[in-house]
Amino acid sequence: MTAVRRASSRGHVDDAHDEPDERWAVSYADMVTVLMCLFIVLFAVSNVDKTKFELLANSLATGFGQESTEGGADTTEGPVIPPELADDDGVIDLSSRAAAEFESLEELRERMRAALAAQGLENTVEFVIDDRGLKVGLVGAETFFADNSTALSARADAVLDAIGDVLTSVSNQVSVEGHADHRIAADPFPSNWELSGGRATQVARFLVEHEGVAGPRVRATAFSDTRPLAPGDTPEALASNRRVDIVVESAEEEQVRALIPALAAAAEQR
């Protein structure tokens, strides 16, 4: 009986003096080790030495069960030239590519002009070549739409028919962009967003449904009165802001397209 009480007493004393759980120390040690490795790698990378870098890369690869890297690390200095912007010798030549793209847009513009001139409609659009591509501005909304309407006029059909014949021969993306002047829209349009968007949509639909321009190439965008071309309330200013633009987008790289406006300005001065 005494032995049992002593055992129970000892067991009670042992339970009262259990050690705290220190398993967290293992995770803490792992975290400290990982942080140390991280700072070592950051230090090594910030002081690039080709030989040491290769040794470090191979050591890490081996540690993670991978094959050692062969051929060394890529330590090329200077900007990396995308393959599509380089010639056969690997030399970048943006200016010649921009000139070629500008000539292509000029040729497209002249083809549209000729098609419009054949119908006596050469004065119904304005052409601008910029870093986006070729913009065909439909001059004066009343020429193409009745007041406060999205329905295309007979003249609009003729203009878009001439332009559409040319657009079907190229593969560029086409953005149809509707704009409005700052005056408040009237019924049935809640705002200029619906009015400008409706007109852009009608032009886009005509190009796709009547001219056969592939649907995935065309998008319609509404800008409401957020991008005016001219300030003021004169009839001329209101007419220039109340417009639809058809933008034949360049497929060139951004670095190439950025050079096109200067080429267009130089061509206008000739």
For residue range 6-39, list pLDDT tens digits in order. Answer: 444 444 445 555 566 677 777 778 888 888 887 7
- Confidence at residue 37, expressed as pLDDT on a 0 to 100 scale: 81
Which of residues 42, 63, 84 is at a domain's end? 63
Q: Is 72 a member of any domain? A: no
58 and 146 within one domain: no
The whole domain housing 58 covers 2-63
Q: Are residues 101 and 233 in the same domain?
A: yes
- Determine whether 56 is exposed, middle or buried from the number of CB atoms within 10 Å of its CB (0-12, 13-18, 19+): middle
79 pLDDT exceeds 60? Answer: no
Q: What is the CATH number of the domain that holds 194?
A: 3.30.1330.60
Can you spell out the DSSP letters for 114-178? HHHHTTT-TTSEEEEEETTEEEEEE--HHHHB-TT--PBPHHHHHHHHHHHHHHTT----EEEEE
Report the 10 Å Cβ neighbour count for 44: 15
What confidence tens digit (pLDDT) does each residue in 147-178 have? Answer: 788 889 899 999 999 999 999 999 999 999 99
Same domain, 198 and 125: yes
89 occurs within a structural domain: no
Let me know whether 255 and 161 are in one domain: yes
In a domain, 68, yes or no: no
Q: Is position 120 within any domain?
A: yes
One domain, residues 119 and 235: yes
Do 46 and 177 fall within a single domain?
A: no
**Predicted local confidence at residue 249, as pLDDT:** 97
What is the spatial distance between Cα 52 and Cα 31, in angstroms, rounded to a whole number?
25
Residue % of the chain over a pLDDT of 90: 48
Answer with the one of 63, 78, 112 that is the final residue of a domain. 63
Give me the pLDDT at residue 141, please: 64
Residue 76 has a pLDDT of 47
Q: What is the pLDDT of residues 93-132, one digit of tens each?
A: 799 999 999 999 999 999 999 999 999 998 889 999 999 9
Same domain, 242 and 115: yes
Is the same domain home to 99 and 210?
Answer: yes
